[in-house]
Amino acid sequence: MFLFIVTLAKENRLTEVLMALTEIDAMGTQIINARSAERLLAFDVPIFAGFQEMFGETSENSQILFSIVEDEEALEDFIATLKIANIDFIEDNVGDAFLLPLAGARWRKMD
């Protein structure tokens, strides 16, 4: 059993990423809205305002998705599923994905 984490930098790809997670049988996906520390400093702390040029004119939010998957192949299956939808997760800088082993997990019942 593994914790599958996706940090999604391109919000417009959320639907496709959720579909790919469904396709690889990810369970209990949770989504957290996030903002990078670099962006926060550049746009909200005046002393770092010079860094705004690195990020463009607007501050973009991102999402962090957490899911549980059964096997190690989930990461490669996720990437392959997105490629079928003409999304190259890596080359298009859609986000980052991580797979972490879990020693155990307890589930609440889903209605």
Q: Is residue 86 part of a domain?
A: yes
Q: Is residue 71 part of a domain?
A: yes
**pLDDT tens by residue, 7-34:** 998 888 999 999 999 999 998 899 999 8
Q: Is residue 63 part of a domain?
A: yes
Q: Are the C-beta atoms of 62 and 34 separated by less than 8 Å? A: yes
Question: What is the domain count for the chain?
Answer: 1
Cα separation, 9 vs 64, whole angstroms? 9
Higher-confidence position of 95 and 4: 4
**pLDDT tens by residue, 36-78:** 777 667 666 666 666 656 655 444 778 999 999 999 999 999 9
What does the mean pLDDT of the chain come to?
83
pLDDT band with cut points at 50, 70 and 90 for residue 110 = low
Q: What is the pLDDT of residue 58?
A: 45
Q: Is residue 111 part of a domain?
A: no
Q: Are the C-beta atoms of 72 and 99 separated by less than 8 Å? A: yes
Q: What is the pLDDT of residue 21?
A: 95
Q: Is residue 95 part of a domain?
A: yes
Q: Is residue 57 part of a domain?
A: yes
Q: Is residue 89 part of a domain?
A: yes
Q: Is residue 73 part of a domain?
A: yes
Range of the domain at 58: 2-101
Q: What CATH number has the domain bearing residue 54?
A: 3.30.70.120
Cβ burial 12-40 (10 Å sphere, 16+ → b, else e): ebeebbbebbeebebeeeeeeeeeeeebe
